[in-house]
Amino acid sequence: MKHEHIVKFVEPESIAEEMGIESGDKLISINGKVIEDVFDYHYYVNDEEILVLIQKANGEEWELEIEKDCEEDLGIVFEQGLMDEYRSCRNKCVFCFIDQMPKGMRDTLYFKDDDSRLSFLQGNYITLTNMSDHDVERIIKYHLEPINISFHTTNPELRCKMLHNRFAGDALQKVDRFFESGIQMNGQIVLCKGMNDGEELERTIHDLTKYIPHLQSVSVVPVGLTKYRDGLCALEPFCKEDAIQVLNTIEKWQRILYETYGTHFIHAGDEWYILAEREIPGEEQYDGYLQLENGVGMLRLFQDEFQEAFLELQGDERELEVSLATGVLAFPYLQEALDKLKEKFPNLKTHLYSIRNDFFGERITVAGLVTGQDLIGQLKGNKLGTKLLLPCNMFRDGEDVFLDDVTLTTVKETLQVEVDIVKSSGREFIEAIIGE
């Protein structure tokens, strides 16, 4: 099989630019080795002395001898991020969010990835069912880490049922190989009521502890249920009593594991504490925030960052009027922060809006799944002040576009207000409101 990797662009002042590599060139090999995908590329490009074979647009081949620092990048961005086709998921998970989306959205939103290379590059969680022995061997050979794994349960029969894949139970054996080779891992459990909670959750946590310390952390998050579940497995939402039981289980294991290993290991998503009406734990319980992308500790980190920045403020009499919008989940925490901010800035006027998720259904409460149409529909006609502040996770990564393809420009023009996108830190939250 022929592997040709087309250069999309070359970073300015990089080694690649210095060597004359240009957009449209093709990478043929490194050190005489055919580059199958991004795994191979990252491995072979790390050497201090490499021989790179490039094919120019006119068909001419250049053999480039490059001396560089160990692990120094060449500065090449390829047309395909994986330098190969993306692998789609072979499972039919009972909790799959993509299966719960309405029809008529852009095609890319319906693509289910389960690609081990995205786990290494972007932090995606994978089920291991789409991973070949060849993939496992290369991960071990190249020592690519961390690998993020969707466990859900360690009961092989239940895992087959939940993933609707008869190989899902056997796939867990790959974890043993990673552990034996010292590959760092993180895990997640999407909890479904009546399936992998209760005694099954106890079993899963117990089973996963044998992989400490190479399995660094495991998060437990509640299943997200939209209103588009016709024909899908019947799943019930968790209630307050359920959340309390889940937290009791997790916190019991945290105490045991911290005493034994010095790590809390198993972590509850922030939603559990809100549903259970319990206070968010302190920073020390999150072991360095290894699971932020899964919504574990985001509220604690925000609160601590806000408090640190708040204590540095002198305060003054400046007059400002701004508005903010967020999901239902974070609303009370942002309101608390705004109320505190007004202690030092008494002339600050803020309007905080909790956006109900009509698009996916009211059970979806995170800001990252708020659509542009819901935002516009619920803010139109309301007081917005001189600018509207929106969290960055409402937008597609690197773009000013909402999940439903509504653009930031459309929001500005429809609501007739300036809009600033705010990063998630507490300090940047303050700066976005009052300025530097």
Neighbours of 119 (CB within 10 A): 25
CATH of domain 5-78: 2.30.42.10
Which segments of the chain belong to CATH 3.80.30.10?
98-294
- SS3 (DSSP) at 154: coil
Task: Compute the distance between CA of residue 385 and CA of residue 7 in angstroms, rounded to an integer.
Answer: 46
Q: Can you identify the CATH homologous superfamily of domain 98-294?
A: pyruvate-formate lyase- activating enzyme (3.80.30.10)
Sequence ranges of the chain with CATH classification 2.30.42.10: 5-78
Q: Work out the mean pLDDT of the chain and round it to a whole number.
A: 90
Instruction: Measure Cα distances from 165 to 91, 156, 159, 203, 221 in Å.
Output: 6, 11, 8, 21, 22
Residue-wise pLDDT for 327-372, tens only, equals 999 999 999 999 999 999 999 999 999 999 999 999 999 998 999 9
The CA distance from 161 to 168, in Å, is: 9
Q: Give the other-Cβ count within 10 Å of 363's Cβ.
A: 14
d(CA 267, CA 246) in angstroms, rounded, equals: 11
Q: Residue 418 and residue 387: Cα distance in Å, rounded?
A: 5
pLDDT tens digits, one per residue of 195-245: 999 999 999 999 999 999 999 999 999 999 889 888 888 899 999 999 999
CATH architecture label of 302-434: 3-Layer(aba) Sandwich (3.40)
Please give the structure tokens belonging to residue 295: 């919504």
pLDDT digits (tens, 9 = 90+) for 392-416: 989 877 788 998 889 999 999 999 9
The band of 35, judged by pLDDT with boundaries at 50, 70 and 90, is confident
Verify cis geometry, omega within 30 degrees of 0, for the bond prior to 156. no
Task: Report the predicted TM-score, pTM, of the whole model to 2 decimal places.
Answer: 0.83
- List all residues 6 or more positions away from 183 whose beta carbon is below 8 Å from its beta carbon: 139, 140, 143, 144, 145, 146, 147, 214
From-to residues of CATH 3.40.50 in the chain: 302-434
